[in-house]
Each structure stands twice: as C-alpha cells, then as structure tokens.
Amino acid sequence: MNAQSSRSDDHGDSGRRTNTPVDGYVEIDGVRLKLSQPYTGSAPWIGQREILMQLLACWITVDESDLPLTPRLVGSPGMGKTQLVIAAAKEQGLPLYIYQCTADTRPEDLLVTPVLGQSGTISYHASPLVSAMVCGGICLLDEGNRMNEKSWASLAPLFDGRRMVESIVAGIQIPASKDFRAAVTMNDDESTFEIPDYILSRLQPTLKVGFPNKQDEMAILQYHLPYAENEMLAMTVEFLQASHRLKLDFSPRDGINLLRYAIKRLQQDSNHPLSRDQAWREALERCLGEEASDLEELARRQKRALGGEAVPLGLADLFFDADDPMHPDRDEDDEYDGEYDDEDA
Ligand SMILES: Nc1ncnc2c1ncn2[C@@H]1O[C@H](COP(=O)(O)OP(=O)(O)O)[C@@H](O)[C@H]1O
Ligand SMILES: [Mg+2]
C-alpha cells in the first residue's frame, strides 16, 4: 500500500471516470474538485501498544475481496483518541485528512461544497473525507458523536461494500480508492447524538481508549512539556493516576493544560515567585475546577449522582428488567444503602 497509488483503475466502480489527482485537483465525471490538504502534524503515540495494533489491524486487507474496517474509537475527552489515529496514519505511511464533526455538519459539508468565485463561476471543494477517498488516504471523522443522523446517512454507502458517496451538489458519484481507510472517534460524554444502528453497525469494531498507566502518563507529559521540572511532572502524574483509580474523567490533556498554566505562573514574576506548590494548586483549581482538589469527595458525589440518574443500558437490559434476579448485571451491592465505602468509590 502506498500514498501515490490513486490511479483511475484503483477505484471500486470502474464505470466512473476518476483521474489521478494533479496539483491539488481531481476530475470526476467531468467535474473538477479542489482537494483539501492533508494534516501534517506527527506527534507519536506513547505507550498502550495494543490499541494501536488493534486500530492498524482494522485497516489490513487479507485478500482481494476483503475490505478494511472503519473502527469507532471511544473514550472520555482528552484520552488521546485523535492522537492515536494521527500516529496510526503515520505508521501506515498514508496521508491523513481530519474532518471535525459538529452538530451542524450538513451532508454536503462532508462531501463537496460549491464555492462562488469572483468572476461568478462556481468551483467545487472536496471535503477532507472526499480528499482522502480520492487520494487513497486515511480519514479521521473526529468527534463523530456530534454529527446528526442526516449527515451520517450520506455516509452509509461509503462504509459498506459500495465504498462510494454521492454528491448531490456536484451531481457525481465519488468512489473510494482501494487505499482509502477511515476511523471515527466518539467522546462518551453527554454531547452525543443518537447515532442510528444501521450506521453504528458499519462502524466496527469499537475500540476503547483507556487511561495510561503511570509510566506512560509520565512519558506523555514529558513529551509534550520537555521543559517542565520533574517535581511538577511527578505531582501531576500522581494526581492523574489517583483520579484514574477513582474512575474520574481527568485526562492526559487536563494534565498538560494544568502544567502549562502552572509553569507560566511560576515564570511570570521573578521578584516575587510563587512556590511550586502554590502555582500547581492554583492551576489545578483554574483548569479543572475547585472540586478537583478533593478527588475522593468528587468521586463520592459522582457516584451518588449516578445512583440517582438512569444508568446507561447494556445489552442485558433489553431482555431483563433492572430488578429481575436473572439480570446478569444485577448486583445486590448496587442498591444504595445510605453510604459508600471508600474502597469502591
Ligand atoms: N498515548 C499518548 N501518546 C501521546 N500523546 C498523548 C497520548 N494520550 C494523550 N496524549 C496527548 O493528550 C492530549 C489529548 O489527546 P487527544 O488525542 O486530543 O484526546 P481526545 O481526542 O481523546 O480528546 C494531546 O495533546 C495528545 O497528544
Ligand atoms: Mg479528539
């Protein structure tokens, strides 16, 4: 597989005429499309080798008739989902195109956008997704959970055996190059649209990006903040690891932000320097909120709040009532007995 191989015969539907992209343009069925630029950043993926291998496996084809998979990467914000795809694209040696999904993304934004030129002519701009399809690159649909059903529906034929999209605006069908690969990231926070099952079934498997261990988390912070003092790094890693143990959502990104602010505060006034501890505490409160200074209390409060609200449904919930003694997830200890012990907080 290589990035240069988008000849017209690479494309799934040989009836369509897709020419080789030249100078940032491609012509499909007589319509000229201006292509997006690939993403050029190249930070590495640190630690957690297994999930990188799982993602790369999805993109392998084992036979002429085999198709790559488009996995869903899920996890809390700041855990490294976007970073993982950036690193995987680099490892794969293919150009990466990132499409940032939002609640108001329309189907045509995902595909081809008409742009009115000064002389009144219309030119057609290919989205990062279509550019990846045409150039034989990787497309990351980032934060896909923010996108509505109508936009997802326009991608249904892309993520099954058809591997093509239809641009109503440009009046063309666009087949994906043989080398085209994709991945979707989704935050598991509340900002989630209900994505219909027929779409989710095309975005498989689900790969869960979890918390890094202590050593990896230190390496991540050191990589992003090579100028940070060891003592500050160590305080931050201790904090993050404690929050992971309590299943709180603080992420490597939170650690990076907090450290950056603390270091700026320390540098600010050499005549009246803050102590490291003061700067770090202030950064903790300003970046992560006052409640972050008492993790155990925060964990207790979150657990209590979860007890009061509906807990997310699992597969078994379709077949058993929540209080059915046969429910496989039923746990006598789940019933709130007025207090929680710290151990499982
Ligand atoms: N395993 C990792 N290796 C390298 N950097 C990481 C890793 N995990 C998180 N990061 C860094 O943490 C920050 C948040 O990661 P990002 O990929 O934006 O998270 P997400 O997409 O899950 O919200 C980025 O600066 C990213 O580089
Ligand atoms: Mg992201």
Domain map of the chain by residue range? 8-208, 211-345
Amino acid at 285: E
Q: Tell me the average confidence (pLDDT) per consecutive run of 10 residues in the chain, 345 residues long.
A: 43 59 93 96 94 98 97 96 97 97 95 93 96 98 94 96 96 97 88 81 96 98 97 97 95 98 92 88 96 92 74 53 58 44 42
Q: Which of 42, 218, 220, 223 is the best mutation target for the ligand 1 pocket, counting ligand atoms within 8 Å of the beta carbon and taking the most?
A: 220
Distance in Å, CA 81 to ligand 1 centroid: 6
Per-residue pLDDT tens for 115-171? 998 899 999 999 999 999 999 999 999 999 999 999 999 999 999 999 999 999 999
The response to whether residue 111 sits with its C-beta less than 6 Å from ligand 1 reads no
The predicted structure's pLDDT at residue 224:
97
Residue with CA nearest ligand 1 atom 7: 80
pLDDT at 336: 42
Read off the amino acid at residue 282: E
Alpha-carbon distances of 231 from 67, 222, 234, 255, 293, rounded to whole Å:
49, 12, 5, 14, 18
Atom of ligand 1 nearest to the CA of 252: 12
* 300 sits in which H/E element: helix 295-308
Q: Is 126 in the pocket of ligand 1 (CB under 6 A)?
A: no
Q: What is the pLDDT of residue 228?
A: 97
Q: Does residue 83 line the site of ligand 1, with CB under 6 A? A: yes
Look at residue 327 in the predicted model and tell me its pLDDT: 60
Nearest CA to 216 out of 42, 46, 50 is that of 46
Residue with CA closest to ligand 1 atom 13: 253
Closest to 89 (Cα-Cα) out of 217, 180, 211: 180
Atom 1 (ligand 1) nearest CA? 46
Cα–ligand 1 centroid distance for 13 (angstroms): 37
Q: For residue 41, which ligand has an atom nearest its CA?
A: 1
| CATH no. for 8-208 | 3.40.50.300
Cis upstream peptide for 205 (omega within 30°): yes
**What is the Å distance from ligand 1's center to 222 Cα?**
13
In 3D, which of 210, 228, 204 has the Cα closest to residue 218?
228
Ligand 1 centroid to residue 43 C-alpha, Å: 9
CA–centroid distance, residue 119 to ligand 1 (Å): 44
Q: Is the CB of 18 under 6 A from ligand 1?
A: no
Give residue 6's pLDDT: 41
79 CA distance to ligand 2 middle (Å): 8
Q: Are strands 31-34 and 25-28 parallel, antiparallel or unpaired?
A: antiparallel
Q: What is the DSSP annotation of 174-205?
A: EEPPTT-EEEEEEE-SS------HHHHTTS--
Does residue 246 have its Cβ closer than 6 Å to ligand 1?
A: no
Query: What whole-number distance in Å separates Cα of residue 316 and Cα of residue 307?
Result: 19
Q: How many angstroms separate the alpha carbon of residue 127 from the centre of ligand 2?
A: 19
